[in-house]
Structure 1
Amino acid sequence: MTNSILKISDLHAISDLDGRRILRGVSLDVAPGQTLGLVGESGAGKSSIAKALLGILPRTVRIASGRIIFDGRDLRELPERELNRIFGDQIALIPQDPLTALNPGRRIERQLTDGLRLRRKLPWRQARIRALQLLEEVRIREPERVMRSFPHELSGGMRQRVLIAAAFALEPKLIIADEPTTALDVTVQKQVLRLMRDLQTHHRTAIVFVTHDLGVVAQICDRVTLLFEGRVVEAGTTAEMLETPQHPYTKALIAAGPRYDRPDAGLQPVPDGIISALRADIVASDGRTHG
């Protein structure tokens, strides 16, 4: 893929506590204005990739090798001061839980205007006008009232919209969305996904969308990277992955999901044989890499 805003090449990460491999040669590309879904069950490594991008891996986890190229520069080679500037201005995060992500003791106005004043050097009045515009962009009714509110006074869907507004506030080139719809009911989830898609189209922002839900992938992602225990199992366009999957694990995951066109059909767990074969292949690959 050409014209990538983000390119990860052969990324390996290891836990210094027990030597466990967290990421195994992960490679992926994201183009400007594109949404890449990082999909996998718990422990697959999708959140570790997101944390590596944001520079917030636990101290006990180290990147052993690989490159993280953002906008033509390797993040692993940049000084901390420059990384802090990039993470504030050009890479933003939409976290999973809006209630814990927002400061409970500060009104929404302060939480939206502080970044604009600090990073964009806007005077208070201009920052406030921009914050109101952002709330309108994420389709929040009564933005003046919301600006005066504390997080606990808003619904879960409204809090998530505030976080989306905050992520787009500085017009970053890349947004990491860490399962941002997990805590929302299905109706609100659909609204939030549509909103993110509209904002992305308007701002031409690239998004890395971390999720375990293939239904969410179908609604918002252009491409998908499927992970298992820190290793890429399959990657391709969303249509390719969902309509003509190639790997047995991908096929099994799709089959395991609920079918809304067949409400009476039972769920099909991923066969143990597929999991065993994947783990055996990983062990063999680890041996070849470090043998």
Structure 2
Amino acid sequence: MLEVKHLTVRSKEGRPLVRDVSFTLTPGEPLGLTGASGSGKTTIIKAVMGILPYGCVIEAGEILLDGLSLEKLPARERRKYCGTVLGFIPQSPMTAFDPHMRIGAQMVQTFRLRLNLPKDKALTLAREQLLAVNLEDVERILNSFPSQLSGGMLQRVSMACLGGLAPRYILADEPTSALDEENRDHLLTLLRDTYHSAGILFVSHDVSALKMLCRETVILEHGTIIERQNIEALFAHPQKAWTEAFVRAAEAQKGGEWSWKDLQ
């Protein structure tokens, strides 16, 4: 179980970015997290992963992984949990890859480092996982640099890496926002059907995706949780004025991706 308890994060200037946030991720139970840009969603993910920007600090609270306080671990010790226990899906897949290394070399390096596999078995796993995400031109992809692949293909490659590492928890930071409809649907299907046993924190503005994956969704405003409900109940009976505006804007967009401009 991954527990975030009363988390408060401040910026280098002392401004509160996240205030008294608590939630629990349980394997097999995706949790949705949504809110306007700047509400603290990505800050929460970075705090859990241990990659807060320079000067940002966890002022209060705990991040517990099966009872272990992650925020108290040295950086080197904490990195051991990244990938195999805590998986991350970025908003922009290009940021997940070294632009100067071929995809195959990066996948093999990741699997060797995180899974302690010999090179030949790491390469076999890379091929298997690319096929698992419906990337059939395996050898071309392995020999490509990131800039030679589309954003949708790179997102599938990042999912292939995730599949090979099989983390218990997945932190997905608006993973559908840069994808076309085909790749979006494929990613959501993978999360729902292939990684269903993982605990998933799904950060998104994509209302239909939240409804597809998550039973419960948390609404964040100005770094604070203002509401959490079953996703269907949230849309049927929003409890806060801000959440009502969220529902109206989402319905105006017919359940798709939207910009929150009506709520600013």
1:212 paired to 2:205: yes
Partner of 1:200: 195
1:10 paired to 2:11: no
Partner of 1:108: 103
1:187 paired to 2:178: no
Partner of 1:249: 242
Q: Is the 8 A contact 2:108 2:126 kept in 1?
A: yes
Deviation at 1:260, TM superposition (A): 6.2
Q: C-alpha distance in 2, partners of 1:258/1:52?
A: 32
Q: C-alpha distance in 2, partners of 1:258/1:237?
A: 17
Q: Is the 8 A contact 1:178 1:210 kept in 2?
A: yes
Partner of 1:230: 223
Partner of 1:125: 120
Partner of 1:167: 162
Partner of 1:286: none
SS of equivalent to 1:225 = strand
Q: C-alpha distance in 2, partners of 1:190/1:244?
A: 28
Identity in percent: 38
2:27 to 5, 25, 32: 32
Q: What does the per-residue CA deviation read over 1:152-192, in whole Å, with 9 as the maximum and x for residues that have no partner?
A: 22222111000111123211111111111111123321222
Q: Is the 8 A contact 1:214 1:254 kept in 2?
A: no
TM-score, normalised to structure 2, is: 0.91
- Cα 1:178–1:261 shift into 2, 3 Å: closer
Q: C-alpha distance in 1, partners of 2:261/2:144?
A: 45
Deviation at 1:206, TM superposition (A): 1.3
Deviation at 1:259, TM superposition (A): 3.9
Partner of 2:152: 157
Q: Which runs of 5+ in 2 are unaligned?
A: none
Q: C-alpha distance in 2, partners of 1:193/1:142?
A: 22
Q: C-alpha distance in 2, partners of 1:92/1:15?
A: 25
Q: Is the 8 A contact 1:255 1:268 kept in 2?
A: no
Deviation at 1:237, TM superposition (A): 2.2
Q: Is the 8 A contact 2:50 2:75 kept in 1?
A: no
Q: C-alpha distance in 1, partners of 2:182/2:133?
A: 16
Amino acid at match of 1:255: R
Q: C-alpha distance in 2, partners of 1:16/1:102?
A: 28
1:41 to 36, 44, 48: 36
2:16 to 1, 11, 21: 21
Deviation at 1:138, TM superposition (A): 1.2
Q: C-alpha distance in 1, partners of 2:61/2:99?
A: 38
Q: Which runs of 5+ in 1 are unaligned?
A: 276-291
Amino acid at match of 1:175: I
SS of equivalent to 1:196 = helix
The count of residues paired between Structure 1 and Structure 2 equals 260
SS of equivalent to 1:269 = helix
Deviation at 1:261, TM superposition (A): 6.1
Partner of 1:240: 233
Q: C-alpha distance in 2, partners of 1:20/1:114?
A: 38
Amino acid at match of 1:190: D
Amino acid at match of 1:257: A
> Greater CA deviation, 115-124 or 50-59?
115-124
Deviation at 1:258, TM superposition (A): 4.7
Amino acid at match of 1:237: N
Partner of 1:289: none
Q: Which runs of 4+ in 1 moved over 6 A?
A: none
1:176 to 155, 171, 180: 171
Q: C-alpha distance in 2, partners of 1:79/1:129?
A: 33
Q: C-alpha distance in 2, partners of 1:70/1:35?
A: 16
Partner of 1:283: none
Q: C-alpha distance in 2, partners of 1:16/1:154?
A: 36
RMSD over aligned Cα atoms: 2.1
